[in-house]
Amino acid sequence: MAKVAIIGAGFAGHTAAMYLGDALGKNHEITMINKFEHFYYIPSWVWVGVGRMELDQTRFHLKKVYDKMNVNFVLGKATEVHPDEQYVIVENRDGSNGTTRVDYDYLLIATGPRLVFENTKGLGPDDGFTNSICTGPHAETSRDNYLAEVERMRKGEKRKFVIGTGHPGATCQGAAFEYITNIHKDLLRRGVRDKAELQWLSNEQAAGDFGVRGVHVKRGGKVVSSEDFIKAVFKEYDINWQVQTGVLEVNEKQIHWENFAGEYGDTDYDFSMLIPQFLGQPLNFLDKDGNDVSSQVVAPNGLVKVDAKYGQPHAEMAQDPDSWPAVYQNPNYANIFAAGIAFAPPGTISVPHTTPNGTSISAAPPRTGMVSGIIGRIVALNIVDLIKKGRMTHSERMTEMYAACIASMGDSLWDGSAAAIIVYPVVPDFRRYPNEQGRDMFVTHMEMGLAGAWMKRMVHTTFMHKLQGRIGWKMIPE
């Protein structure tokens, strides 16, 4: 009987657990280790953050799903991995004291990001001055603070909202974009939009870059860029924007930043929501003698090394699609895999930039949502292969992967809107697509309108159905 352990029940880990439980659970031992008892559908937290959806509508109990999927569930925080002896130590969070040992033949690390607010002084809702929608409690706190600002505006006060990224190396610009456009629509609904100044502040190369080198589509015989697309939205919604900017520090009233040119400046604010830097979750990797072997498993940023080509200059990496991993397998421990944000990418997708002062302002590559789910499925199917056949038969690089994103710009099904974007491949492949974008211009697509708002809500409902393992779940793509 084979034993498979998974650390982390986000999109990647939970998807993998479902496929593994479905294929192996009756004859083998599948164990999920997770810090929380719920699965959280993170994309809908932009609505929680403006009071348009309750947090309970974005979560469900994991154990109920795993019980019917033949997956064991350990509620706790993984603290140690012993790759030589093949077990994980878990700090229990089920009300019992002590730890639990979980043995494995195969291990999938899908921990998601560590939110490193402390890498920007003054950032974050706990020890800083800014808001966040990166956790459920943070989204609820942002909602409460946002609604307090609405009350001030109803009394006639003018308020300034600054939304974007809070670190020169941050990612997840898409979530911040959704949040600022939902704020705009919600303020209109509440009749106080004229009292608000909205400011976009981002480390992107250009508006609409989103850490994926932007998106370009053919329309009417012309190439239209996501920069054109997003700037048009900002102009229509009266949102000011500033890109090519890395936030260095935040105080109670100002955001201190540096831009691509190496210039320093300040932006005043009354309410801000800035996405922090994402790094790997802390785990100790110990050999049989108790020695630290972390360097064999993770990169200095805590993300898990996989079958990628590390250390290449960006220009070389961008021309080599094989730089990106295919099976997400650690090169030193063949039975350890990583998925979603937990795997270490070989570099950025967008062109990195270093200022004259030596500051790197470079959007990290996004690996969330659909991309995480796809990678989780690929890893799960390969572990099934290894157990049943002794070899892997599935692979998918991000240079071969498509992604669909529906960015909410107001949740109303009557006057809301959303930007629907399909990108193929996620990471440009200039060998297969020798155009300026390195993408399939027939498949890659962008649209905006009311239909997108219906699609966004439908995706929320559909995925909450799929991820609870309900009837037909495997028919719904990741």
Q: For residue 412, what pLDDT is reported?
A: 86
Q: For residue 32, what pLDDT is reported?
A: 98
- Give the residues across from 285 on adjacent strands: 81
Sign of CA dihedral 425, 430, 432, 438: positive
The low-confidence residues of the chain, meaning pLDDT below 70, are none
Can you tell me whether residue 11 is helix, strand or coil? helix
Q: Nearest Cα to 253, choosing from 67, 129, 110? A: 129
19 phi/psi in degrees, rounded to 5: -65, -40
Q: For residue 378, what pLDDT is reported?
A: 98
Task: Take residue 162 and report the two structure tokens written for it.
Answer: 């600054």
The CA-based angle 48-53-59, given to 5 degrees, is 80
pLDDT in tens, 52-94: 999 999 999 999 999 999 999 999 999 999 999 999 999 999 8
**Residue 77, C-beta contacts closer than 8 angstroms, at least 6 positions apart:** 35, 90, 91, 93
- Give the residues across from 303 on adjacent strands: none
Contact 73, 25 (CB under 8 A): no
Q: Nearest Cα to 307, choosing from 250, 359, 345? A: 345
Q: For residue 220, what pLDDT is reported?
A: 81
Q: For residue 221, what pLDDT is reported?
A: 81
Q: For residue 8, what pLDDT is reported?
A: 98
pLDDT in tens, 301-316: 999 999 999 999 999 9
Q: For residue 73, what pLDDT is reported?
A: 98
Q: What is the DSSP string of 60-99?
A: EEHHHHHHHTT-EEEEEEEEEEETTTTEEEEEE-SS--SE
Q: Is the pTM of this model over 0.85?
A: yes
For 194-325, strand residue ranges (E) read: 196-201, 216-219, 222-225, 239-242, 245-250, 254-259, 264-268, 271-275, 277-280, 284-285
- Cβ of 195: how many Cβ atoms within 10 Å? 18
The answer to whether domain 3-112+278-388 has CATH 3.50.50.60 is yes
CA distance 90 to 7: 10
My answer on whether omega of the bond before 313 falls inside 30° of 0, hence cis, is no
Task: Take residue 171 and report the two structure tokens written for it.
Answer: 């990612």
